[in-house]
Chain A
Amino acid sequence: MKKKGLYLLLLPGVLFLTLFMIIPIALTIGSTFFHEGSFTLEGYLTFLTDQYFLKILLTTLQVSIVTTIVCILLGFPAAYYISKLGPRKKGILLALAIFPLLTSSVVRSFSWMIILGKKGLLNSSLLSLGLLEKPLDILYTPTAMMIGLVHLFLPLIIITLVGVMENIDPDLIKAAESLGASKFTAFRQVIVPLSVPGLIIGSILVFVGSLTAYTTPALLGGKQRVISTFLYQNAITLNDWYMASVIATIMIVITFVVIFVMNKLATKLNPKG
């Protein structure tokens, strides 16, 4: 095929993305270094020295780390169980995991508002069982955000891990067992190491997803800000586009650093090299 034809196929898409995504993002990042007409790092200095801003960043990181860990702890065993099932049962469970993933994040967050609210299902059940004296204040706390985010991203880590575990040769486990390893040892020494690349990809998806999610923290976090709701607040409520651009840039940098570091780690830990 002639070069010209090839580029004609790619050009419309590239042009579209350049015009409507790459340039806007690049200019947003660029604009953080100029304020009131001159070069400045003021935005970043403000961010890094202001206790309120730092607290938001810290909350965001904490929520994302805990969400990722909980997703791994719940997702890994479930994925292992699913990967060993026959095709029919596996198909059903995968479909049941994909369904919430495709369901609107707004719907999913609402459902947790019904459960976690002051008069919600959780409180009313615990109160009527006599396990509580007065209702718990879970909704609008970081805990509520974490529950919502785990619910949002758990399917992602499950299906990613099932995809990886399916490809592990079952003969490897049989070989390990025939050499005297217990089922658990075989799991620990064969399945776990071979799942690591998938685990890392899954963790990137969950961590970056939690770091940048908007709907769930906006609905379940209440006044508790995370970096994405803080960006929205600065842009729309406070109309401070300079600070919003600084926050946007910080989010991009964190996202790319996380992806880069985790990818490096995945290559390093991949037994195939």
Chain B
Amino acid sequence: MQEKNRGLALFTLLVFLFLLGPLIIISFTSFEPSTVLRFPPQGFSWRWYENIFNVEMFMTTFKTSIFVSLLGNLLALVLGIPAAYALSRFQFKGKAALNAVFISPVLIPGIVMGFAMLKYVIVVYDLPIYAGLLVGHTVVMLPFIIRVVASSLSNFDFAVEEAALSLGASRMGTFFKVVLPNIRSGIIAAILIAFLESFNNVDISVFMTGPGVSTLPIQMLTYVENNFDPTIAAISVLLMILTAVFMFIIERLMGLSYFTKR
């Protein structure tokens, strides 16, 4: 029987090699001194990391990505936290339907949503591309904010809130002084998860580009069409470091069990 477990362990090892191998390989190729993306690299050089800063469009689109993800995040929090609170705290008619509405952005194919937004938000509503990009990213982030905040509210004992209310605190005051501080770590985790979703988004952003407006992932796609050099690998490494740091913080704040729940 031990034999069988060893087989299963080997199988799992191979599965993880498949999952992580490509990411390790792309990391190594970022240090290649020549212009060819190859593994193993034929030397060691920081040249392509320097090149990221020499290509102006990478810096511009990086700033756009950061700005859109942060501002969209703020907007999604303002819209999402009250909704998550209402949905977790109260029983009311139409709750299931509203829940479905708030989760729906993850069910609709991203590329469809991007196209529909281009057609109506940009063209018919006549919003500037930048604003359209921001709105699109907010829609993408909203379900993540609501899901994570609702899951931390489900661990919160509303009796504490009742106690504050019965002692004469206002509803608003109770929310800001009692409820919000208690779910703080959940909110920070929600911000980080939503940020990654927005920062990595291609499906919406690919439709929302125009003169001077593009995001980093879209710029990376454009760059590869013309130059397939290790710059892309170097950016990939930086993005993976960002992901790892965020994941570490999320783990500290609320554990990774959020991801295993469906």
Contacts and interface: CB of A to CB of B under 8 A. Distances in A.
Interface of A: 1, 3, 5-6, 8-10, 12-14, 16-17, 20-25, 27-28, 31, 74-75, 77-78, 80-82, 91, 93-108, 110-115, 119, 121, 124, 151, 154-155, 158-160, 162-163, 166, 183-184, 198, 201-202, 205, 208, 211-212, 214-215, 218-219, 228, 231-232, 235-236, 241, 244-245, 248, 251-252, 255-256, 259
A101 to B, nearest CB: 7
Nearest to B26: A111
A-B pairs with the 3 shortest C-beta distances?
A163-B260, A212-B109, A111-B22
B236 A107 contact: yes
Main secondary structure of the interface of B (DSSP, over half): helix
Interface of B: 1, 4-5, 8-9, 11-12, 15-16, 18-20, 22-23, 25-26, 29, 36-39, 78-80, 82-83, 85-87, 89-90, 92, 98, 101-102, 104-105, 107-113, 115-121, 124, 135-136, 138-139, 142, 146, 171, 196, 199-200, 202-203, 206-207, 217, 220-221, 224, 228, 232-233, 236, 239-240, 243-244, 246-247, 251, 256-257, 259-262
A241 to B, nearest CB: 6
29 contacts: A3-B92, A9-B86, A10-B98, A12-B82, A12-B83, A13-B146, A17-B102, A17-B105, A20-B117, A21-B108, A21-B116, A22-B104, A25-B113, A28-B112, A78-B15, A81-B8, A94-B256, A101-B259, A106-B220, A111-B22, A154-B15, A232-B111, A235-B207, A245-B115, A245-B119, A248-B112, A251-B112, A255-B107, A255-B109
Contact of B12 (A81, A212, A214, A218): A81
A244 B202 CA distance: 18
A101 B23 CA distance: 12
